[in-house]
Structure 1
Amino acid sequence: MVVTCEISFDNNVHGTFYAGQLVNGCATLKCDRSKEVQAVLLRVVGYSITKWSEKSLGSSKLYAGREDYLASNTYLLGSEQNNNRHTIQAGVHSYNFACQLPYQCPSSFEGRYGCIRYIVKVLLIRPWKFDQAYTKGFTVLKMLDLNFDTPQLRSAAHSEGYRTFCCGPCKTDPLKLELNLPQAGYVPGQKIPVTVVVVNSSSVAVSELRLSLVMLVRYYSVSPEHSRVERIIISRAKGDSVLKQCTRSLTIELPVPSTPPTCVELSNIIQIAYQVEVEALVKSLREQQLMVMPVTIGTIPLAVSGIVVQQPPRRSAHYEGPRSRRDPPDELPMVTALGSVPNDLTPNSTVSELPKYEESRHTQRGNINEEELHAFGINEFAPLYPVYSIPSPTPVLSANTRNAGFVNQSFIK
């Protein structure tokens, strides 16, 4: 006997939803002959799990955690409350379903040591044999509008640091790095224009600048309580060398590929953050100077003059999720927002820009049937994230940050 089940979503070919939206669709059972079941159950579930092991003193210790966000059960036929048998006749049977997503859902994510996963599942319940499961994954995205959720992300960001090399009488004058970003919030599809000013007052040359956009994922376990951080470089770029006793300014773009939005609040066992890293290599001494700047990756971009971005339905213009029970750790930076929403966010043009939805290339593909013994259909699933085709912000340039190199006058004898 052959039974198949196709699960589809209404007017949503990508199967991508925002937290708070209604997930509706159709489950279609096809039987080549009649089949007896106790019940046909449709479940819509959302949860996060973490799992990894660590070795210590020759033994391995397992760490695991789980958090549930959604569990909706609808009997399409029969019930588990009684032992009555029901017959599914040969042919095609279609069942419509609908489920409201909670507003506090974190974004879908598939990682090395855990996942945040949302699934529609149809179960043919047969206590006398074994249950058959048919599953389909879908993507849920946290609404992170950079214009409203974190208004300070529109401001330029600046950081600087100093580093000397060697010690005692051989100690060099400082190598200074300045890092400038035109804003601290971006969306996939944009490029981050990173302006780096290197004031090399030392007696050693900087052989190369390395820039990276880094995704940081912290996984928590519940039994026993523990955590670990996964560091993923999702974008790289290089800059030129800087001679000793010279100053050089460079603006280098870091692409933002398809990637999950920043989330350090809605899940208590998986937190995601991003940072820009700039590393100045001094190969002669096998040393380097590292500068770090936290950035936030959203799902709705900052307003750009001349472009209107069509947005999915939302509950309100300003939505704040509940605070996590855990404070965000130092390894997971995020630029926080204060103050009121600016009044000049409405562009003047009627041009509209819809995002494409793409799979992240730097995260894992998950097995959505790993909890089922008798599952049918495709096991692999990868969430899809919005990717925009909109202008990137203008680099930060000032009188002291031009794309040029010059000798430090103070070092000319």
Structure 2
Amino acid sequence: MAKLQMFDVVFDGDNTAVYRSGEVVRGFVRIVLGEVKNDVRGIQIKFKGESHTRWSEGDGKNNRCYSAREVYFKEKIICWGKSKNDPGASKLTLESGEHRFPFSFQIPNVPLPFPFESCVGWIRYRIMCKIDRPWKFNHNTERLFTVVGTPIDLNTMPHARIPSHQEATKTVCCLCCAQGPIIVKASTDKGAYVSGESIFVSGTIENNTSREIIDITYKLVQFVTYFSSGGHKTRRTFTMVKDKAPGCKSGEVARMDWKPLILPSIPPSGPQGCNIIKIEYFVEFEGDVSSTPLDAEVKLPVTIGTVPLYQSQYPDPSAVVSEQPSASAATAPPPSYQVAVEGLQEIPSKSGHDYTFGKLMYAPQYPTYNLPASAPTWDPAHPPQQAQSGYYPPKY
């Protein structure tokens, strides 16, 4: 029978592990022993919030690695026994059976970014627990939790109620002879959303070529820019949700009227408080042109927030919104916190050796709303005045 049968971190309450800045994280370290363990100096807990980026470019001798790190908080406590730096620290004994060691930690009451996970960079809030054993490998266990970042209230953003609208013209070349053009127009019903809400997309593709538009794809794409400490950067794109609509033949017009994209649990734009990861979102509306790898497309910038708009639809299709109605977070429907759309992922051990107990499975949680969905009533061919030239998303 193994001496160490259970070693984990348990949060108080419902154990969902979602907290806000300034709140106290409470719980206990649970250790179950199959027999007496007499080689323990102490039990140490670290609380840490940090972000990290890392990627490489080139190959062989030209391979270069870039990285950056930000630390938002870090604290260490001894919840039982002594530290190796304490005078007189010696081996202690833990009897067989279950042991619980309570802890509490107050998250700094400062703006903190939402957690985020990707293969190139992440933002994590972590509890790391260590059974300190003199002259032996230490036992380690870890647990990640979600910190609700700085609220992103869409009601404070002037562009949030304004439809995003873009147009583009594409010429297709065939045997050195230009054909076309293909004229693409697309709109979203507004400029900002929250997870759980529907983005309504409408558009047309005027096909003036001899080729067929096989179909239309409309999707929400996440653009993530990662920065290194030396000023280098790289970008990755991830498709969050997508759907298709019929295309058209040569000389015809493909029309798609207000199709919804229901937003899954995704991180908001930003994230505010982090300087090495930048998240942006675009709705891509594209026609797949037959017999060519090139598509006809437009990109519509949108913002993802955490507090939804109130009265999000235009009451009058011809109206121009000159000011936003006042609102407060108290009138917003409460969100639920849902696991990120990518689901649980295995997180490599921070300690980096085989004495870490169990696999660390984790997914961030984001505020998600259950909001009624209704398509706009205004004609996408004549969007409200503010949308005629599109808008440029704020810089974070």
| TM-score past 0.5 threshold | yes
Residues 25 and 100 of structure 1: CA distance in aligned 2, closer, same or farther (over 3 Å): same
Residue 39 of structure 1 and its aligned partner are, at CA, apart by 2.8
Output the CA distance in 1 between the equivalents of 2:29 and 2:373.
42
Residues 130 and 165 of structure 1: CA distance in aligned 2, closer, same or farther (over 3 Å): closer
Instruction: Give the structure 2 partner of residue 154 of structure 1.
Output: 161
The one of 46, 52, 56 aligned to 2:49: 46
| 1:311-326 to 2 correspondences below 5 Å | none
Residues 57 and 364 of structure 1: CA distance in aligned 2, closer, same or farther (over 3 Å): farther
Instruction: Give the structure 1 partner of residue 70 of structure 2.
Output: 67
The one of 24, 27, 46 aligned to 1:25: 27
Output the CA distance in 2 between the equivalents of 1:368 and 1:302.
38
Question: What letter matches 2:326 in structure 1?
Answer: N
Question: What letter matches 2:357 in structure 1?
Answer: F
Summarize deviations over 1:201-239 as a string: whole Å, max 9, x none: 5665533211121111222233x5422211111211112
Give the superposed CA RMSD: 3.3
Higher alpha-carbon deviation: 104-113 or 82-91? 82-91
Q: Kindly tell me the number of residue pairs found equivalent between the two proteins.
A: 365
The gaps in structure 1 that reach 5 residues or longer are 306-338, 403-413
Residues 144 and 158 of structure 1: CA distance in aligned 2, closer, same or farther (over 3 Å): farther
Q: Secondary structure at the match of 2:159?
A: helix
Q: Secondary structure at the match of 1:376?
A: coil
Instruction: Give the structure 2 partner of residue 14 of structure 1.
Output: 16
The one of 86, 97, 103 aligned to 2:104: 97
Residues 166 and 93 of structure 1: CA distance in aligned 2, closer, same or farther (over 3 Å): closer
Instruction: Give the structure 2 partner of residue 81 of structure 1.
Output: 85
Matched-pair contact (CA < 8 Å) for 2:161–2:190? yes
Instruction: Give the structure 2 partner of residue 371 of structure 1.
Output: 351
Matched-pair contact (CA < 8 Å) for 1:35–1:87? yes
What is the TM-score of this pair, normalised by structure 2?
Answer: 0.79
Find out whether 1:184 has 2:191 as its counterpart: yes
Summarize deviations over 1:336-392 as a string: whole Å, max 9, x none: xxx9863156899xx95542522322x782425143433113323222233332223
Question: What letter matches 1:81 in structure 2?
Answer: N
Instruction: Give the structure 1 partner of residue 248 of structure 2.
Output: 242
Residue 134 of structure 1 and its aligned partner are, at CA, apart by 1.8
Output the CA distance in 2 between the equivalents of 1:148 and 1:35.
59
What is the TM-score of this pair, normalised by structure 1?
Answer: 0.76
Residues 287 and 52 of structure 1: CA distance in aligned 2, closer, same or farther (over 3 Å): closer
Matched-pair contact (CA < 8 Å) for 1:43–1:71? yes
Output the CA distance in 2 between the equivalents of 1:149 and 1:11.
33
Instruction: Give the structure 1 partner of residue 182 of structure 2.
Output: 175
Residue 275 of structure 1 and its aligned partner are, at CA, apart by 0.9
Instruction: Give the structure 1 partner of residue 299 of structure 2.
Output: 292
Output the CA distance in 1 between the equivalents of 2:43 and 2:156.
41
The gaps in structure 2 that reach 5 residues or longer are 313-321, 384-396
Matched-pair contact (CA < 8 Å) for 1:368–1:381? no
Higher alpha-carbon deviation: 270-279 or 281-290? 281-290
The one of 106, 115, 138 aligned to 2:113: 106
Instruction: Give the structure 2 partner of residue 215 of structure 1.
Output: 222
Residues 175 and 401 of structure 1: CA distance in aligned 2, closer, same or farther (over 3 Å): farther
Q: Secondary structure at the match of 1:7?
A: strand
